[in-house]
Amino acid sequence: MQHNSSARSGNNTNTEPAPVRWLLVATAMLFLTLFLFVPLAAVFSEAFSKGWETYLAALREPDTWSAIKLTVLVAAISVPLNLVFGLVASWAIAKFAFPGKSLLLTLIDLPFSVSPVISGLIYVLLFGLQGWLGPWLQDHDLKIVFAAPGIILATIFVTFPFVARELIPLMESQGREEEEAALTLGASGLQTFFLVTLPNVKWGVLYGVILCNARAMGEFGAVSVVSGHIRGMTNTVPLQVEILYNEYNYAAAFAVASLLALLALVTLVVKSWVEFRMKRQEIQS
Amino acid sequence: MSIEVSGVSKQFGAFTALQDISLTVPSGELVALLGPSGCGKTTLLRIIAGLESPDRGEILFNGENAHDDVRERQVGFVFQHYALFRHMTVFDNVAFGLTVRPRKERPSKGAIRERVHELLKLIQLEGIADRYPAQLSGGQRQRVALARALAVEPKVLLLDEPFGALDAKVRIELRRWLRRLHDEIHVTSVFVTHDQEEALEVADRIVVMNKGKVEQQGTPDEVYSRPASPFVYSFLGTVNMFHARPQAGQTASTEHHSVGYARPHEIDVSRQDPGNGAIAVTVSRVLPLGAIVRLELARVDTGGLMEAEIPREKHEELWFTTGEQVYVSPKNLVVFVEDYQI
């Protein structure tokens, strides 16, 4: 720690010489510029290349507008569900010992290790017309694949680990003592959870939710498989971008893409702010 | 409220934490569970609290089976690392046990405020009700943890290494304060410690534990001056061992060696051989420690190290110096037959 803080004064033997440092920083900056800043700038400049009017018109186009609504709907359902699941799972894993704990941990990681396309295919195989449950669903007039429910299911699966993965290490590091103290003071299990456990991890929860939301809105692969690409019905924003692009409607494609880029930027800002708060809380305790 | 532990055993996997423990804590007393780390004392405390359940045996409060649910057991538990709720102020921490009560049993807001301020006064921290735990020193945090535990008027108070995480000076201050506090409120209390000085100074009774078993229980004076086993003897202070030599006339079938124990202050040091089988030693260090002077000695015959403590007046009279040869003999020798346990 001390070494880092005195690095500026230049009399520290543990830091690299100035030219090396500059070279390293410059290399990193060059990479960032090439692969992040330039593409980001390109998205916005393309989106606005034909002016504000075209930009707004592209967003107001009925199919695009319905894609935006569907994306918001999907996120509004899958993020809260994964929040509840993540909280419950991480609480169980971090604070209790039970048989099958490591199996549960592995299952939580599964969506990270499986290709999103496979994640989508699972649902087609399960709920599709030729799938296991297909005939039954058809008999009861229920549509899952190539409809909003399928998109929501696939999104839930893909974004399943974000909240839990964020909270498990945090809760484990905080230990069980505060919960035990609450219990000896007469608090019920629910009181302990809402008054002690949850406030202690609130920044971690927010962090997980932000990442989960970003992924839920931006997911392409899994959603692409189950959506069926029905215009104005089952297209989400990322799918709509692809369709517009394939139709050589670049201005509109980039206009819609700029929404996702904007989401990424907002996510980044909120994420850094939450990280800052978490670090401060850590220092305090 | 008396506590009775009867035949309690606890196993963690292959590790036996507690083996058939039985002991009684009389109502209103302050009892220390003393032992080295890993002897099972914290496990026993957690079982008394209801935070852990025993594999066998039971816990009785006032002769009745203690409630299985930790919430119904009404114990005050003070954790080694305080376990204060970090996102709550000192006031909210202390009030917690009262505010989580079901509406019917919950005191009014005013009554809670009054009770919390009463407790903050008791722990001499009235001015800091609005601070957060992170803004307090270790000693202050521990006192807040104690006030929080006392707020619910527990039947018994259990403290897990309450001073373990504090620096030496605060530790001594705080344990004297705890003793005075106990004299004021008289709630039956059990505290866990590995520090024999702390146990001797604070407790009414001491339970010495080793390897999941109770070695001895009694008043501080009993366990210090009449230790029941070599373990208790050596755990409660520095000790010199005297191995008995096989003597003429002793039956050859004696399989056990007997070992004599004497504390440093129970050793006589003289320049002349008193002729009663005294041991010749060389003085390797002289340490003046206030009222007493400690001599570090090495046996001439075996090279084994010994320690003696003599009053300062005697040292000023005789003035032992490093390197000289002197004779020591134990004034008071406690003999145990060695069974190769330590």
Tell me if A285 and B100 make a contact (CB, 8 A cut-off).
no
Per-residue model confidence (pLDDT) at position B1 = 85
Per-residue model confidence (pLDDT) at position A87 = 93
Tell me if A187 and B71 make a contact (CB, 8 A cut-off).
yes
- A vs B: CB pairs below 8 A: 70
Q: Which residues of A sit within 8 Å Cβ distance of B?
A: 177-178, 180-188, 191, 195-196, 199-200, 281, 284-285
As a whole number, mean pLDDT of residues A139-151 equals 82
Tell me if B86 and A191 make a contact (CB, 8 A cut-off).
no
Per-residue model confidence (pLDDT) at position B110 = 92
> How sure is the predictor about A5, in pLDDT bands with cuts at 50, 70 and 90?
very low
Which candidate, B77, B126, B116, places its Cα nearest to that of B96? B116
Residues 99-138 of B with CB under 8 A from A: 100-101, 132-134
Instruction: Compute the residue count for chain B.
Output: 342
Judging contacts by C-beta atoms under 8 Å, the chain B residues touching residue A278 are none
In angstroms and rounded to an integer, the radius of gyration of the C-alpha atoms of chain A is 23
Q: How far apart are CA B77 and CA B82, in angstroms?
A: 10
For residue A235, what are its two tokens?
Answer: 């297209």
For residues B248 and A135, the model is more confident at A135
Judging contacts by C-beta atoms under 8 Å, the chain B residues touching residue A187 are 71, 96-97, 100
What confidence tens digit (pLDDT) does each residue in B156-203 have?
999 999 888 788 888 888 888 889 889 988 899 999 999 888 999 999
Strand locations in chain B, DSSP E?
3-12, 15-25, 30-34, 56-61, 64-65, 75-78, 156-160, 188-193, 205-210, 213-218, 240-243, 258-262, 267-270, 279-289, 292-299, 305-311, 325-330, 334-337
Of A110-124, A189-203, B37-51, B247-261, the poorest mean pLDDT is in: B247-261
Mean pLDDT of all residues belonging to chain A: 86
| Cβ neighbourhood burial of A139 (10 Å; 0-12, 13-18, 19+) | exposed
Domain range summary for chain A, segments of one domain joined by +: 1-47, 50-284
- Please check the confidence at residue A7 and state whether its pLDDT lies above 50: no
**For B124, what's the count of Cα atoms within 13 Å in the CB-facing half-sphere?**
8
- Please check the confidence at residue A110 and state whether its pLDDT lies above 60: yes
Per-residue model confidence (pLDDT) at position A11 = 53
What confidence tens digit (pLDDT) does each residue in B191-249 have?
999 988 899 999 999 999 999 999 999 999 999 888 888 889 888 888 888 876 545 44
Query: Minimal Cα–Cα distance from A276 to chain B, Å?
Result: 17
Tell me if A186 and B101 make a contact (CB, 8 A cut-off).
yes
Q: How many CB atoms lie within 10 A of CB B264?
A: 19
Which candidate, B148, B204, B194, places its Cα nearest to that of B171? B194
Per-residue model confidence (pLDDT) at position B257 = 66
Q: How many CB atoms lie within 10 A of CB A50?
A: 16
Per-residue model confidence (pLDDT) at position B77 = 94
The residues of chain B scoring below 70 in pLDDT are 244-257, 338-342
- Tell me, yes or no, if B85 comes closer than 8 A to chain A by beta carbon: yes
Angle between helical axes of B109-122 and B90-99 (0-180°, round to 10): 130
Q: How far apart are CA B175 and CA B159, in angstroms?
A: 12
C-alpha A177: how far from chain center: 31
Tell me if B87 and A191 make a contact (CB, 8 A cut-off).
no
> How sure is the predictor about A191, in pLDDT bands with cuts at 50, 70 and 90?
very high
pTM reported for the whole predicted model: 0.77
Per-residue model confidence (pLDDT) at position B160 = 93
Tell me if A184 and B76 make a contact (CB, 8 A cut-off).
yes
Residues 154-173 of B with CB under 8 A from A: none
A284, closest residue in chain B (CA to CA): B134
Residue in A186, A191, A195 closest to B152 by CB: A186
Matching CATH number, A50-284, of 1.10.3720.10, 3.30.1490.20, 1.10.540.10, 3.40.50.300: 1.10.3720.10
Look at residue B2 and give its three-state secondary structure: coil
Per-residue model confidence (pLDDT) at position B188 = 93
Tell me if B51 and A184 make a contact (CB, 8 A cut-off).
yes
As a whole number, mean pLDDT of residues A176-191 equals 92
State the best of B100, B101, B106, B144 to mutate against chain A, taking most chain A CBs within 10 Å.
Answer: B100
Q: What are phi and psi of A129, to 5 degrees?
A: -55, -40
Per-residue model confidence (pLDDT) at position B126 = 86
Residue in A178, A184, A284 closest to B85 by CB: A178
As a whole number, mean pLDDT of residues A100-125 equals 88
Query: Minimal Cα–Cα distance from A280 to chain B, Å?
Result: 11
Q: How many CB atoms lie within 10 A of CB A78?
A: 26
